[in-house]
Structure 1
Amino acid sequence: MTHAVSLTDVRRTFGTVTALDGLTWSAPLGRVTAVLGPNGAGKTTAVECAVGLTRPDSGTVRVLGTDPATAGADHRARVGVMLQSGGLPNGTKPMRLLDHLARLYADPADVPATARRLGIDTFAGTTVRRLSGGQKQRLALAAALLGQPEVLFLDEPAAGLDPHGRLDVWDLISELRSGGVSVVVTTHSFEEADRLADHLVIMSAGRTVAEGPVAAVKQGRSLEDVYFELTRTGRP
């Protein structure tokens, strides 16, 4: 197995809206894959299919060689997920939530260490409803890390973070890759993709318009120029 994640000819519609239109891309094992695309390109739907939150209408999705839609608890424990809407319970406090979630795993990460790494200890006494957007992002990321995943899906992980927070998250993602974790990051940030990614996927209108190692996709040009050219035409 050379790919942590693979989507092949995946189609998904919601009523009259086609979210994924024959989408095909893969994420190499032990690397950071950045998925870029304009709003409505289907990035979040692709991640939801990859983590088993929604089933494609057709096509094949595999994560660590397994169909996530039918996977059992053992597989799900190997996959960490941070979505844009974290669904964090408003009435609890960060450490209580992380302690609770850690009990769901057979071999969880060290909760206090994870909290310190993401600066959660500085607002541990504040209820979730009173946290800032950036603080909620940090908490959602900590929750995704508790199972010590082999594959980690991060949907806009640096959204709402201040510059120091972005650097902290980027450093953490680099550390995870060094530890052998396969990371899939959806992002609107060219800087984030350029800084972190080994592998790039550019989506437009539910399709892949470019994929490959960073240098191969850019071909000596700026990522921004390549992105706008491809997403404006909607063709590879």
Structure 2
Amino acid sequence: MSAAVAELEGLTVAGIEGVRSIPDGAVVEIGGVRGRVVVDRSAPVGDDGGVWVAVLPLDCSGVVVECVTARQITRCGGNRAGAWWVPVVPALQLALAARIDAEKSAQELAEARAALRDVSSRHESAMDKLVADAHEWADDNDLCSRFDEFMEDHNLPTRLKDFDVEVSVRLSTSVTVRVSGARDSDAAEQEVRHSDVEEAMANSGLAGLNLEDFDVVDAELV
């Protein structure tokens, strides 16, 4: 580790503010990228000592913009930049400002969304309690259905009650009816009467059902 890096690691926010002590144009290495740096000196240093920097790689690949601390800088130093560096600095400062603004906007948007979710949640809870209290008050005062009509007209939940509903059920089942003295199966089918079917149902444990109609399916010789 170079002496410059060791010196940077010893700096504190209360002192020279770590990364912000690095002069613009110095050669640094951050995350394996080595290049000349421009440091943001406008915003306060983060609680962790983080400072936004823009690095122009020595191999002229794309500009790197990151928020870093002194411990993330693995190398610092190098020759002073030549005259070509002067017109490059504004472009790096622009990239730096754009990234900082984007991060700030993203954070503000996230905070706004969180605040909106909190407000919506508290509003929903308040409305649920209001509706529950209104229903209880309506029940305690024996209010008629006009109360529920009012709630429905204002897109609010109406009172819900329990009901016993009588249902007429149509069932399909098979029972066997014994027909004696028939000439053939067709004749046996013709001999089946309503009372025969009811008796067969009773013998099959289906007594008490109201038989409205029946259909003969088949007849087999005993």
Could you say which TM-score interval applies, normalised by the shorter chain? Answer: under 0.3
The TM-score normalised by the length of structure 2 is 0.19
The TM-score normalised by the length of structure 1 is 0.18
Highest relative contact order (Cα 8 Å, sep 6+), 1 or 2? 1
